[in-house]
């Protein structure tokens, strides 16, 4: 090999190592204090109601206005706001008038609006749930699952699954319900925008694990031909649901029975469970629908194949994050590849299924018993 070629190769490798070093250094900052710093400061912003105060004020606010509205210490509020602006969560606008010193105003961004406690776009409850003590404790026991010493990190810490724990802890249960409603609003919008045709001919629909009815309330409005929508969930969950015309709330255990309907909807439910439990749930779903025209509509992540995973695909990245959440928080729950979905559907007696993408992390799988 020519000297120059060898130099280029060495130089190339050296350059690559320098780049990797830079990348590692940059990435390491994410793991300072366990990577929880940004989560803690975002939680602080939600707790204080910073985004709500600016929204209610109707225009960008100075720090003095914000500290007065929130009854906060000015200096520490400035330090928190400085961190959040640096992370692109709020925006700082400097106004320069001739006769005054430049004044900083703080404005909303798309991200800060997600931190508001109210409103269709709020993700506050979901963020608070992620940073809740039960969830954080479970995340620190991930290795127990990988070592095969536990089927759920959550159960290692709390001794019972998330749903039994929620039943025994009403405040955590309410937080989970509100958090799931955040996810549900995003998913049901994507369903309505992308695949409402799926519900054509469906007059009765049961949403299994439908929480407090966020999805069903929006679906019966978008599909006036659905004469009866049933939101089916654990009794302690449906007992908190907001009553709505055209919707029946049924409390029960999906491993025991599922109310009969033309179609069954399962949104972010099956990924909470291992294969055996999924097959049991799907067999109950199959029994609840007509053999000839019935179907089960599953809205879940479909993990991409190796090629798709190589693409710079944010949806795939979030799918893998959710897979880790399932390992940490649920009983043998996991996100599944197309083949893994085909396995559980086949084992549950569904002869065929289709998959389509929607504008969400999840895809829509329609499974047919006939």
Ligand X SMILES: O=c1cc(-c2ccc(O)cc2)oc2c(O)c(O)ccc12
Ligand Y SMILES: C[S@@+](CC[C@H](N)C(=O)[O-])C[C@H]1O[C@@H](n2cnc3c(N)ncnc32)[C@H](O)[C@@H]1O
Could you tell me where the DSSP H helices lie in 2-117? 3-28, 37-48, 50-57, 63-70, 74-86, 110-113
Compare residues 233 and 272 and give the one whose CB is closer to ligand X.
272
Contact between 153 and 141 under an 8 Å Cβ cutoff? The reply is: yes
Of 317-346, binders to ligand X (CB under 6 A) are 325, 329-330
Q: Which of 122, 152, 172, 316 binds ligand X (CB under 6 A)?
A: 172
- The span from the CA of 62 to the CA of 251, in Å, is 49
Compare residues 51 and 267 and give the one whose CB is closer to ligand Y.
267
Does residue 329 sit in helix, strand or coil? helix
Q: Which of 54, 61, 176, 208 binds ligand X (CB under 6 A)?
A: 176
Contact between 31 and 39 under an 8 Å Cβ cutoff? The reply is: no
Closest distance between ligand X and the C-beta of residue 282, in Å? 16
Q: Which of 211, 213, 229, 319 binds ligand Y (CB under 6 A)?
A: 211
- The span from the CA of 20 to the CA of 346, in Å, is 45
48 binds ligand X (CB under 6 A): no
362 binds ligand X (CB under 6 A): no
Q: Containing H/E element for 336?
A: strand 336-337
Binding partner of residue 135 among ligand X, ligand Y, none, CB cut-off 5 to 8 Å per kind: ligand X
- The span from the CA of 229 to the CA of 248, in Å, is 6
134 binds ligand X (CB under 6 A): yes
- The span from the CA of 242 to the CA of 257, in Å, is 23
Could you tell me which residues are beta bridge partners of residue 363? 300, 357
129 binds ligand X (CB under 6 A): yes
Stretch that binds ligand X, among 17-25, 213-221, 268-276, 305-313 (CB under 6 A): 268-276
Nearest CA among 211, 223, 208 for reference residue 181: 211
Binding partner of residue 297 among ligand Y, ligand X, none, CB cut-off 5 to 8 Å per kind: none
DSSP string spanning 272-303?
GB-HHHHHHHHHHHHHHS-TTT-EEEEEE-EE
Binding partner of residue 337 among ligand X, ligand Y, none, CB cut-off 5 to 8 Å per kind: none
Contact residues for 19 (Cβ-Cβ < 8 A; gap 6+)? none
* 271 catalytic per annotation: yes
Closest distance between ligand Y and the C-beta of residue 302, in Å? 16
Compare residues 182 and 220 and give the one whose CB is closer to ligand X.
182
Q: Which of 209, 213, 229, 294 binds ligand Y (CB under 6 A)?
A: 209
Cα–chain center distance at 93: 32
Binding partner of residue 267 among ligand Y, ligand X, none, CB cut-off 5 to 8 Å per kind: ligand Y
Catalytic residue from among 158, 165, 271, 331: 271
Binding partner of residue 258 among ligand X, ligand Y, none, CB cut-off 5 to 8 Å per kind: none
Residue nearest to ligand Y (CB): 209
- The span from the CA of 154 to the CA of 145, in Å, is 10
Closest distance between ligand X and the C-beta of residue 268, in Å? 4
Compare residues 84 and 219 and give the one whose CB is closer to ligand Y.
219
- The span from the CA of 89 to the CA of 25, in Å, is 23
Stretch that binds ligand X, among 110-118, 130-138, 145-153, 345-353 (CB under 6 A): 130-138
Binding partner of residue 264 among ligand X, ligand Y, none, CB cut-off 5 to 8 Å per kind: none
Closest distance between ligand Y and the C-beta of residue 75, in Å? 40
Q: Which of 45, 66, 247, 267 binds ligand Y (CB under 6 A)?
A: 267
What letter does residue 141 receive in the DSSP assignment?
A: T
Contact between 114 and 45 under an 8 Å Cβ cutoff? The reply is: no
Nearest CA among 301, 240, 289 for reference residue 265: 289
What letter does residue 89 receive in the DSSP assignment?
A: S
Closest distance between ligand X and the C-beta of residue 156, in Å? 14
Catalytically active residues are: 271
Which residues contact ligand X by CB under 6 A?
129-130, 132, 134-135, 162, 172, 176, 268, 271-272, 325, 329-330
Which residues contact ligand Y by CB under 6 A?
163, 180, 183-184, 187, 209-211, 214-215, 233-234, 237, 253-255, 267-269, 272
């Amino acid at each position: 090999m020519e000297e120059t070629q060898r130099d280029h190769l060495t130089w190339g490798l050296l350059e690559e190592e320098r780049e990797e070093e830079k990348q590692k250094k940059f990435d390491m900052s994410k793991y300072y204090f366990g990577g929880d710093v940004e989560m803690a400061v975002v939680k602080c912003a939600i707790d204080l109601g910073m985004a709500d105060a600016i929204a209610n004020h109707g225009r960008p606010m100075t720090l003095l206005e914000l500290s007065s509205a929130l009854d906060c210490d000015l200096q520490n509020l400035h330090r928190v706001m400085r961190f959040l602006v640096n992370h692109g969560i709020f925006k700082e606008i400097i106004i320069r008038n001739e006769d005054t010193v430049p004044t900083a105003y703080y404005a909303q961004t798309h991200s800060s609006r997600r931190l508001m406690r109210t409103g269709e776009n709020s993700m506050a409850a979901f963020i608070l749930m992620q940073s809740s003590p039960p969830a954080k404790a479970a995340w620190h026991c991930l290795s127990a699952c990988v070592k095969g010493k536990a089927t759920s990190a959550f159960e290692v810490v709390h001794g019972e699954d998330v749903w039994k724990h929620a039943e025994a802890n009403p405040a955590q249960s309410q937080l989970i319900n509100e958090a799931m409603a955040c996810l549900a609003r995003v998913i049901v919008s994507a369903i309505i925008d992308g695949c409402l045709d799926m519900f054509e001919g469906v007059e009765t629909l049961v949403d299994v694990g439908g929480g407090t009815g966020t999805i069903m309330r929006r679906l019966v409005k978008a599909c006036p031909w659905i004469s009866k929508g049933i939101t089916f969930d654990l009794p302690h969950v449906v007992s908190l649901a907001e009553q709505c015309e055209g919707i029946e709330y049924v409390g029960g255990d999906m491993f025991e029975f599922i109310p009969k309907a033309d179609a069954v909807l399962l949104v972010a439910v099956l990924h909470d469970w291992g294969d055996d439990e999924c097959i049991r749930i799907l067999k109950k779903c199959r029994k609840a629908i007509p053999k000839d025209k019935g179907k089960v509509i599953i809205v879940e992540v479909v993990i991409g194949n190796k090629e798709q995973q190589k693409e710079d695909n944010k949806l795939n990245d979030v799918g893998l994050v959710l897979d880790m959440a399932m390992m940490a928080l649920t009983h043998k729950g996991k996100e599944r590849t197309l083949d893994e979905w085909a396995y559980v559907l086949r084992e549950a007696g569904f002869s065929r299924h289709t998959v389509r993408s929607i504008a969400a992390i999840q895809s829509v799988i329609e499974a047919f018993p006939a």
